[in-house]
Amino acid sequence: MENDLNSIEHEAEEVKQLIFQHFKIDKFDDLLPYFYSDFKKDFIASLAAKLSIMAKQNDVVREIFEETGYQIARHIMALVPKIDKRLFSMQDGLPIVCAGSVFKSWSLIKPGFVQCLNKQIKKFPSLNELNLVLADSDSSIGACLLASKLYDNKIDLISTYKRKSVVLDHFYVNKFQNFYQCETEIFSTDNLIPKEV
């Protein structure tokens, strides 16, 4: 037990040092300006790339990424009761558009994501498939497509705009055991994690 505690403390200390080095600070209080007066989202998010490299050898960081995946899945499952039922019967299953650099670390967050799905799927019998996609165009395109449906002349923007997305992962419900299993990981994000930072 003592060795495990020492190992956890050492790994947590490595994370602390990486954070201090990234932000060029000496104590945690010095982080406040980065999140308030001098907020730079891209710079803060760039820490995740460094942490993703560390996660390969650091259990504490790996658990943080897995918890991230778990929380993302919890958010999706919380929305399921409010989703238009027609979306559940789409050809490739319920489409979930994944936006943000966090999905560049999909291989690290996926275990927690799957764990949450396995835990909560029995509450949602109408959910048979889940299709995670990475949008390959600006989010404003989606807003325009939705807005066009309200226009009286019914401009068919959907057929004139070629949909662009990359499948990140696809899940289906195993009909016999009633839990999600990964069919295949169609898009590997391992090459998106920087080799050195």
Report yes or no on whether pTM surpasses 0.85: no
Q: From residue 182, give the alpha-carbon distance in Å to each of 18, 130, 133, 187.
A: 33, 10, 14, 12
User: Looking at the DSSP assignment, which residues form a beta bridge with residue 165?
Assistant: 135
Q: What is the pLDDT of residue 157?
A: 55
Q: What is the pLDDT of residue 155?
A: 57
Domain ranges of the chain: 65-192
Angle at 83 between CA 81 and CA 84, to 5 degrees: 120
Q: Are 121 and 180 within 8 A, CB to CB?
A: yes
User: Looking at the DSSP assignment, which residues form a beta bridge with residue 97?
Assistant: 133
18-57 residues labelled b (16+ CB within 10 A) or e (exposed): beeebbeeeeeeeeeebeeeeeeeeeeeebbbbbbbbbee
C-alpha to C-alpha distance for 128 and 59, rounded to whole angstroms? 33
| pLDDT by residue, tens only, the chain of 197 residues | 334 556 678 888 999 999 999 999 999 999 999 999 988 888 998 999 999 999 999 999 999 999 999 999 999 999 999 998 888 888 888 888 888 888 889 999 999 999 998 888 888 878 888 888 887 777 777 777 667 767 666 555 555 554 556 777 777 665 444 444 454 444 444 433 444 43
Q: What is the pLDDT of residue 52?
A: 94
